[in-house]
């Protein structure tokens, strides 16, 4: 039997608000109010986590000590994405970087900006450029830009 195939087009849109937790809130308040990057340290292995984590995932130990970090670091890896689904508030091509912040043990995923995509390289020094209007979000860092520091 020949039947016309029917497709139902929908879109799932559900508003959420996530409590970011005490640790996450402290981190985001410092970003918003003071333009500062803070990591949190595991008392056992001394690793400094950024973004902050309430628990050291390797030692299974609560992290305790806040450590003020420089707003600068090194590009560990990067990619130039030639597409967008509109999630990122950027035009294509979008440069994503894995940024190893000085003094932190992990790396932060963020945008790299103020640079021609062809000029980005691994090992390049970058610094955080903050958004004019900050709301207490990871996007209070606008992107990381090349730096001589």
Partner 1 sequence: MEKVGIVGVGQTKYERKKEDTFAELVFEATTAALADAGAEIGDIDNVVTVSNDFWDGRTISSMAVQDAAGSYNKDVSCVEGDGVFGAMYGMMRALSGSFDTTLVVAHVKGSEGNMNLITNAMFDPIYQRQIGIDATSSAALQARRYMEKTGATEEDFARVSVKNHSNGVNNPLAQIRKKITIDDVMKSRKISEPLKLFDCSPITDGAAAIVISNAKGVKRFKKDPIWILGASHLSDSYTLGYRDLAYPRALEAASKKAYAMAGITDPLKQLDVAELADAYSYMELLWYEGLGLSPKGKGAELIRSGATGMDGELPVNPSGGLLSAHPVLVAGLARIIEVTLQLRGEAGDRQIKGASKALAHGINGPCGQAHGVFVLGS
Binding site for partner 1 (CB under 8 A): 5, 10, 12, 16, 18, 20, 24, 49, 51, 53, 57-58, 76-85, 87-88, 90, 94, 96-98, 106-111, 122, 137-139
Minimum CB separation of residue 72 from partner 1 in Å reads 16
- Adjacent-strand bridge partners of 78: 97
Minimum CB separation of residue 93 from partner 1 in Å reads 8
Minimum CB separation of residue 96 from partner 1 in Å reads 6
- Adjacent-strand bridge partners of 128: 144
Q: Which two tokens stand for residue 11?
A: 């879109």
Query: Do 80 and 117 meet the contact criterion of CB atoms below 8 Å apart?
Result: yes
Beta carbon nearer to partner 1, 43 or 89 = 89
- Choose among 54, 32, 51, 137: nearest CA to 98: 51
Give the Cα separation of 19 and 101 in Å (integer).
25
Beta carbon nearer to partner 1, 31 or 127 = 31
Give the Cα separation of 144 and 125 in Å (integer).
9
Minimum CB separation of residue 145 from partner 1 in Å reads 16
Beta carbon nearer to partner 1, 20 or 129 = 20
């Amino acid at each position: 039997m020949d039947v016309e195939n029917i497709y139902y087009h929908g879109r799932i849109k559900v508003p959420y608000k996530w409590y970011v937790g005490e640790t996450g809130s402290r981190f985001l308040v410092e970003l918003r109010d003071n333009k500062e990057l803070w990591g949190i340290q595991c008392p056992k292995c001394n690793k400094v986590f950024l973004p902050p984590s309430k628990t050291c995932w390797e030692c299974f130990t609560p992290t305790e000590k806040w450590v003020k970090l420089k707003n600068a670091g090194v590009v560990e890896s990067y990619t130039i994405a030639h597409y967008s689904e509109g999630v990122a508030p950027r035009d294509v091509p979008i440069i994503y970087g894995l940024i190893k912040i000085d003094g932190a043990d992990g790396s932060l995923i963020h945008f790299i900006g103020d640079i021609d995509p062809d000029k980005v390289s691994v090992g390049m020094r970058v610094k955080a450029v903050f958004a004019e209007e900050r709301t207490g979000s990871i996007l209070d860092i606008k992107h990381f830009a090349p730096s001589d520091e």
